[in-house]
Each structure stands twice: as structure tokens, then as C-alpha cells.
Amino acid sequence: MKVRVATGVVAALVATLLSGCATPPPKEPENLCKIFYENRDWYDAAANMRDKWGVPIQVPMAIMYQESSFKADALPPRDYLLWVIPWGRVSSAYGYSQAKTMTWEDYVRETGNSWSSRDNFDDAIDFMGWFIHKSHQVNGVSKWDAYAQYLNYHEGWGGYKRGTYRNKQWLVNTSKRVAERASRYGEQLRGCEEDLQRGWLWRLFFG
């Protein structure tokens, strides 16, 4: 009995420590340069994703803004029974990328990234690069086309192929906003990426 209590206490402490270490959402999410200046390791992870999957950084970052507002523990809205009684969540989506459990499991199986976590930015941005790469393979959508990529991301590859989004004007409008943000993010990144690529030693001596 004492062992169980001690184990429970340790687990609670670990959970508390981990939640306390979670990276808060960026203070200025409308500017990609400021996002990366605030979280330099995010830029490194995004650049690694680009090199690995051939996906421009601004596309998954614009999708992430839309999906989770860069919140590590983001959850979808609650579902309600009879419009009153809380009844779980509307989907299994979770974390920065709002990846659903089954899709995340597909990613883990295909990439071998078995220690990955949806509330870890590095893993989430890599997942999004994988998904965008797959959308290009499956549906022929350009990795630079944030509009069509978001439709794939929301509807799934089969749904996009069937055109399920055509009867969802709200989704079409949202996809347009994602594309506009990706365009702004791309323009911003072109103005600061050279500086972001400089190592910590260079910044130490030259600012």
C-alpha cells in the first residue's frame, strides 16, 4: 500500500514538473521571426523538418497557428450529450499539431519515431512535415500550397480526394486564411533567416 502511494506521489510530481516546463505560446504569433527569436530551438526543429521532408517552414507553421495557436496541450472542443452533459471531446486531436491518435500512430509506424510526443514541438513539426509530404505523394498537392495542404490536413487524404470540403464554405475560408498567413510568414522569414542561422557563439560575440 505504501509503495502504491509513493509511486502515485512521484508520478504526480513528475507530471507537475513537466507541465511547468511546457513552452508557453509565443507572445507575438503573427510574426514568424519573432516566434523563432523567442524560441530559437523551434527554428532549429523547423529547419530540420524542411531539410528532411522538403516542406517550406511557413506552411506547417501557418497550419499550427490555425490548429492550436502554438499551445502544447491544445485539445478540441468538448462534445455534449443532449447539448448539456459533457461527453468527451469531439475528436482525439491533441497538441501543437492537433494530430489525431490514429494518424499519429501511422506517423510513428512509418518514421520509427517511437519516443515522439504530440506536445513536443520538435515532434509535432516533424509530424506536420511528414503529413504534408504524404499529401504531395497521395494527392499531388504542392508542398508550397498552404491552401490545399490545409484542406488535406483537415479532411484527410481520402476526404480531399472526394472533395468533401466543397460543401464546407467555412473550411474553404479558413484554408484561405491559412494560405494568407503562410505567405506572410514566408516573407517575414526571408528577412530574418540568415540571422536565425547564426550559431550561439556568433551571437555571443557579435550580438
Q: List pLDDT tens digits, range 106-140.
A: 999 999 999 999 999 999 999 999 999 999 999 99
Q: What is the pLDDT of residue 87?
A: 36
Please give the average per-residue pLDDT across 69-78, as a whole number.
79
Query: Are 151 and 171 contacting, i.e. CB atoms less than 8 angstroms apart?
Result: yes
Q: What is the pLDDT of residue 198?
A: 87
Count: domains in the chain? 1
Res. 81: pLDDT tops 70: no
Can you give the CATH number for the domain in which 72 is found? 1.10.530.10
- Alpha helices (H) along the chain: 2-20, 32-38, 40-53, 58-68, 101-111, 121-139, 146-162, 169-196, 200-206
Burial of 138 (0-12, 13-18, 19+ CB in 10 A): middle
Q: Encode pLDDT of 7-60 as tens digits.
A: 444 444 444 444 445 689 999 999 999 999 999 999 999 999 999 999 999 999
Q: Is residue 17 included in any domain, yes or no?
A: no
Q: Is residue 13 included in any domain, yes or no?
A: no
Alpha carbons within 13 angstroms on the beta-carbon side of residue 85 total 3
Matching residue, cell 484554408 = 175
**Grid cell locating 163:** 472533395
Q: Is residue 140 included in any domain, yes or no?
A: yes
Q: Encode pLDDT of 175-191 as tens digits.
A: 999 999 999 999 999 99
For the full predicted model, state whether its pTM sits above 0.85.
Answer: no
Q: Is residue 135 included in any domain, yes or no?
A: yes
Q: What is the pLDDT of residue 23?
A: 87
Q: What is the pLDDT of residue 18?
A: 46
Res. 5: pLDDT tops 50: no
Question: CA-CA distance, 104 to 125, in Å (whole number)?
Answer: 12
Q: Residue 71's domain spans which residues?
A: 24-206
